[in-house]
Amino acid sequence: MQPSVDISFLAQVYNHPLLSRNDIVKLSGIHTREFIKKGTFVLEKGSVPQEYYILESGLLRSFVHDYNGKDITVNFFTEGELIIEVASLFQRIPSSENIEALTNCTVYKVDFEEFQQLFHEMEGFREWGRAWMSKSLFDFKQRSTSMIVDSAKERYEHLMKHRPSVSQKAPLKHIASYLGITDSSLSRIRKAK
């Protein structure tokens, strides 16, 4: 038996003025609640995803390997966020990233074809998607700029302020690579606090 879908949780994720309670109930029909064990890959480099996920509890990260084969964390996924590699999912191309569970996680899985069907049927869902994509682009631009203009200490403080669960659940080596610094630099920043 599949665990039940938490409508109030999905209402928070899909919060948009054009989505009614009935719309959220309809959307919940394409969500399957699943448990993912720590260390599981929900997406591997070279594969094309057939779904996206919404994280109810736990922590995941996306990562790539640089030209020297070094593991670099690109993003963390925290509670209430979509776990998605946008280019791969929407352009139907092989992923350049891996997505791995750093803890045991509870997620809602959404099949891409079912998502597409409701996305085309429901205006409110399309508007929510447009708003989500705009915010994602804004966040990406902000992070890219921060990597250039902010000090490592400022980037760390921003991460801790806006995503505190990352510091509580992620190994320091993944936080350091996400911030673009070495483990020892991160240790110095943390000790100086």
The structure tokens 């806006």 sit at: 162
Domains and CATH numbers, the chain: 7-188 (2.60.120.10)
Q: What is the pLDDT of residue 192?
A: 86
Q: What proportions of the chain, in percent to the nearest 5, are helix, strand and coil?
A: 50, 20, 30
Element (H, E) at 100: strand 98-101
Which pLDDT score, from 0 to 100, does residue 2 have?
Answer: 54
Tell me the DSSP string of 137-150: HHHHHHHHHHHHHS
Give residue 4's pLDDT.
Answer: 83
Return the pLDDT at 3. 63
**pLDDT number for residue 37:** 99
Separation CA 42–CA 49 (nearest Å): 9
What are the angstrom distances between the C-alpha of 136 and each of 8, 29, 38, 84, 189?
A: 23, 25, 26, 11, 28
Helices 183-192 and 172-179, packing angle to 10 deg: 100
Could you read off the pLDDT of 21-77 as tens digits, one per residue?
999 999 999 999 999 999 999 999 999 999 999 999 999 999 999 999 999 999 999
Q: What is the pLDDT along the chain (193 residues), one digit of tens a residue?
A: 456 889 999 999 999 999 999 999 999 999 999 999 999 999 999 999 999 999 999 999 999 999 999 999 999 999 999 999 999 999 999 999 999 999 999 999 999 999 999 999 999 999 999 999 999 999 999 999 999 999 999 999 999 999 999 999 999 999 999 999 999 999 999 988 6
Give alpha helix (H) positions in 75-163. Answer: 86-91, 112-121, 123-149, 152-162
